[in-house]
Amino acid sequence: MKSPKMKRIFLSACLFCITGQGFAQTLEKMTWFNEPQQWEAKKNSLSMWVTPQSDYWRISHYGFTVDDAPFLYTTYGGEFEAKVKITGDYKARFDQMGLMLRTDKEHYIKAGIEFVDGKYNLSTVVTHTTSDWSVITLDKVPPAVWIKAVRRLDAVEIFYSFDDKDYIMMRNAFLQDNTPVMVGLMAACPDGKGFRATFENFKVTHLPDQRRLKWLENNK
C-alpha cells in the first residue's frame, strides 16, 4: 500500500507524463514580441487588435526591413507539429495573420491568410536574410482556416485546412536543423489602421526525432 507521500509523487509523475507529451499551450504563459496595445487570452483563444503599420519583411523587392508586428510565442527544440485556427476581420491591403516559426530576425517563416486587393490569399513568407512570398488565392471567403506547420529535420511543411480534417500542403521550406525555434501566433497590418484577429486552439505536439528513431532501430 502506498503512503500519502508516495501517492503524491506518483500522481505528480503521471501529470508530468500527460502534459509533457501533449504540449497543450497556456497562452498566458507565452511571451510577447511587439505586444499589441489591446489583446485578451481566454481559455484556448487569443484575440488582439493588430498594431497598425506593422509587419515582418526583409529587403527583397520592396527595399526595406521591418520587424515590428505582434508575435506571441513559445520556444521548442527538435521536431514538432504546430496548429491553430485563425479568423480575422481583414480590412486593408496586406492585413495578415497565422503561424510564425522564427530562429532570429533574419530567419523565419510566417504562414496564414493575407488580404490583398480584396481577396483572401493563403500566404507564406520565408526569410533567410531576405524574404520571399508565395500565395494561393481563394475563390471564396472561408468562415475559418486552420494552419499547420510540421518541422522535420531541416525543413518545415506548411498545410492549410477549412475543416481541421483534410489538410493540403501549401509550402515546404528550409529551416535550420538542431536549433531552438520560437513558434507561435503572428498578425500584421502593414497598410491599415488595425483589425481584429482571433486565434483558437493553438497546440504544439512533439514529434520524435527521425534520426534517433533510426539509430535506436539499428542498434537494438
* Predicted local confidence at residue 43, as pLDDT: 86
* Predicted local confidence at residue 22, as pLDDT: 47
Summarised one tens digit per residue, pLDDT across range 72-109 is 999 999 999 999 999 999 999 999 999 999 999 999 99
Using 50, 70 and 90 to split pLDDT, how confident is the model at 28?
confident
**Number of alpha carbons in the 13 Å side-chain half-sphere of residue 15:** 6
* pLDDT of 23 strictly over 60: no
Using 50, 70 and 90 to split pLDDT, how confident is the model at 114?
very high
* pLDDT of 42 strictly over 60: yes
Summarised one tens digit per residue, pLDDT across range 162-174 is 999 999 999 999 9
**Cβ(132)–Cβ(125) under 8 Å?**
yes
CA distances from 8 to 17, 48, 111, 131, 190 (A): 14, 40, 43, 51, 52
Q: Which residue has the cell 498594431?
A: 51
Q: What is the mean pLDDT of the chain?
A: 90
Using 50, 70 and 90 to split pLDDT, how confident is the model at 1?
very low
For the chain, what's the residue count?
220
3-state secondary structure 107-154: EEEEEEEEEECCEEEEEEEEEECEEEEEEEECCCCCCCEEEEEEEECC
* Predicted local confidence at residue 24, as pLDDT: 54
* pLDDT of 7 strictly over 50: no
Angle at 106 between CA 100 and CA 172, to 5 degrees: 50
* pLDDT of 17 strictly over 50: no
Q: Grid coordinates in use for 91? A: 480590412
Using 50, 70 and 90 to split pLDDT, how confident is the model at 26?
confident
| Alpha-carbon span 190 to 200, nearest angstrom | 23
Nearest to 101 by CA among 163, 32, 156, 172: 156
* pLDDT of 11 strictly over 50: no
**Number of alpha carbons in the 13 Å side-chain half-sphere of residue 50:** 32
Handedness of CA 174, 177, 183, 189 (dihedral sign): negative
Report the predicted TM-score, pTM, of the whole model to 2 decimal places: 0.88
